[in-house]
Amino acid sequence: MNIIVVGLNHRTAPIEIREKLAFFDKELEKPLTQLHQAEGILENFIISTCNRVEVYSVVSSTEEGIRTVKEFLATYQQVEMSILEKYLYVYEGDQAVAHIFRVASSLDSMVLGEPQILGQMKAAYKIACESNTTRFFLHALMHKAFKVAKAVRTETGISRNAVSVSFAAVELAKKIFGSLHDKQVLIIGAGEMGELAVRHLISEGVQRVLVTNRTYERAVELAKAFQGTAIPFDQISEALITIDIVISSTGSPHYLLKYEDIKALLSLRKNRPMFLIDIAVPRNLDPDINQLDNVYLYDIDDLQAVVEANIRERAKEAQRAEEIIQQEVLQFSKWLKAQDVVPTIKALRKKIETISRTELERRLPGLKNLSPKDLEKIQIMVNLITNKILHDPLVALKKLSYTDEGSIYIQAIQKLFNLEVDE
């Protein structure tokens, strides 16, 4: 019995290959069941996202199991094996366990520390459970993986710092205002990053969204998406009197807001802080605006610098996360090795107890003069002798099963006592 991983991801395969191998959640039961029926596949679980397709399996033979999974992927998704082989990676044993823990903890993601992968793994695992392709070992492994992911998130800062420009803008806004629950935002233009930043702000509780664009119809369309209000382009200055956050993302070659424009508004705003995000290239907002009191202006380079600093910080935290994973892999490996010895222990105990019971029953007819109480004492004595004989070898076998030579001792016990072991 061994655990294997066969798959590919954004590092090993281009999007054209990942698309060909992708599975849809609603259709996962069929491939899961088909692979589960293959000889030597004891348990299996498929995770398929835009960045990875991986098969986790418990197999009776590692080499044959790997070959079976590869052939399944090639055949089911109709991709030539010669092409598929170029992009696949394979892990087995402790390396497979470590990889699964790393995936769950978002250490193997395109964006280090992103939270989506854990939810995707849980959803895929649920489908595998409902398809009855997971059993004892994958249940234990996946529940352990989820606990490891939680430990990584709570004990490290791997997911604390924003690593996208749009989310970095939101993080800066929270530093300036604290809570965003009573804040109002104005989005100028319809750029993709600006739109994404507004969505992040709304998720943080921004109260009101105003949208303006040179094409008013486009402003109305975008406002509907945010459940906000569209305003004409020439009413920007009036809106800025009450607005807390401005996001500008237009294709204008000139400044839309200048130093003098914002300065004239400060007395009307009663010096309330204003946060301006200029995501446009070329810039929409005059850089001199940042010289005004209680006005905070960040452009795309400022945000990118924050993102790069946060990526470096996440990389540091990833080292701590790797240490957590190494320790958890050792623990799981120890537990897994202990499971290998359980059938042998049960078989040895069953054989010794059967011999003791059989021999006692053979002698009982010749002990007619003994009272029922005496017979009970003899039964107890035989049980005690059996347990004492078994104690030392069973304790030693459990300890030895954790070592690299554990399988040798298990096989020796099976051979010496001619055991019939149920796998």
Q: Which residues are catalytic?
A: 50
- Is-cis flag, bond preceding 365, omega within 30? no
According to DSSP H, which parts of 182-228 are helical? 192-203, 216-226
Helix (H) or strand (E) holding 211: strand 208-212
Provide φ and ψ at 16, rounded to 5°: -60, -35
Determine the Cα–Cα distance for residues 54 and 69; give it in Å rounded to an integer: 10
Asked if residues 140 and 97 have their Cβ atoms less than 8 Å apart, the reply is: no
Determine the Cα–Cα distance for residues 384 and 387; give it in Å rounded to an integer: 5
Determine the Cα–Cα distance for residues 157 and 160; give it in Å rounded to an integer: 5
DSSP 49: -
CA 371 from chain centre, in angstroms, equals 66
DSSP 164: S
Asked if residues 90 and 121 have their Cβ atoms less than 8 Å apart, the reply is: no
Structure tokens at 277: 């995000």
Q: What stretches of 16-75 adopt beta strand conformation (E)?
A: 41-48, 52-59
SS3 364: helix
Determine the Cα–Cα distance for residues 202 and 185; give it in Å rounded to an integer: 9
* Residue that is written with structure tokens 């401005």 in the block: 246
Max Cα–Cα distance, the chain, nearest Å: 117
Provide φ and ψ at 49, rounded to 5°: -130, 180
Structure tokens at 136: 């004892």
DSSP 115: S
Pairing of strands 245-248, 184-188: parallel
Structure tokens at 128: 């595998």
DSSP 233: G
